[in-house]
Amino acid sequence: MSNGIPLTDDDRWDWLADVAATSSRAAAGNESTYIAVAACSALTPKYREFLKSKVLPGTRIVIAFMWAPEEVLVARVGARKNHYMGTNMVASQAALMQVPKDEELLENGGFSIPMSTVDQDPTFIAGEVVKKVNAFLK
């Protein structure tokens, strides 16, 4: 990506496996909550299912899927200074992006929480995710 070339599925699998393993080890090491937070770009159902399949046994996974329309993402990326990802890369990400729905949703027995980030304060978004995760953990 730093060379302006979109990642392929083959580029992503090892990285997603590392995210799953690292976050589940961190959760296991956090004896007060057994929770870890990891940030990654799990744009499609197959990436999210792959993450779920690679966490350590006994680890529960919840994916907070932050999303916005392509034009909003282009504006955000364009405002960044000295970032590896240019606006030319947003189209490939937006083309792949599939916001979780139906059986993927936490409230339907799945493990995903889609959150639009358009015109939302990051503190509000974090609070909503925490509320939904807490409800899931009860």
Please report, for the domain that includes residue 84, its CATH number: 3.40.50.300
- Model confidence at 77: pLDDT above 70: yes
Residue 1 confidence class, pLDDT cut points 50, 70, 90: low
Check if the beta carbon of residue 62 is closer than 8 Å to that of residue 38: no
Mean pLDDT of 110-131: 92
pLDDT digits (tens, 9 = 90+) for 2-55: 666 777 889 899 999 999 999 998 888 877 777 777 888 899 999 999 999 999
Predicted confidence at residue 9, as pLDDT, reads: 86
* In a domain? residue 20: yes
Domain count, the chain: 1
Check if the beta carbon of residue 73 is closer than 8 Å to that of residue 83: no
Which residue segment(s) compose the domain that 111 sits in? 9-137
Residue 70 confidence class, pLDDT cut points 50, 70, 90: very high
* In a domain? residue 1: no
pTM assigned to the model: 0.85
* In a domain? residue 25: yes
* In a domain? residue 18: yes
Angle at 133 between CA 35 and CA 128, to 5 degrees: 125
* In a domain? residue 62: yes
Q: CB-hemisphere CA count at 13 Å for 7? A: 18
Predicted confidence at residue 120, as pLDDT, reads: 92
Predicted confidence at residue 118, as pLDDT, reads: 93
- Which tokens is 13 given? 């699998």
- Model confidence at 83: pLDDT above 80: no
Predicted confidence at residue 82, as pLDDT, reads: 81
Which residue carries 């980030």 as its tokens? 117
Query: In b/e form, how buried is each residue of 93-127, taking b as 16+ CB within 10 angstroms?
Result: bbeebeebeeebbbeeebbbbebeeeeeeeeeeee
Question: 3-state class of 115 per DSSP?
Answer: strand
Question: 3-state class of 114 per DSSP?
Answer: strand
Predicted confidence at residue 2, as pLDDT, reads: 64
* In a domain? residue 67: yes
* In a domain? residue 122: yes
Strands (E), 1-138: 63-67, 112-116
Residue 113 confidence class, pLDDT cut points 50, 70, 90: very high
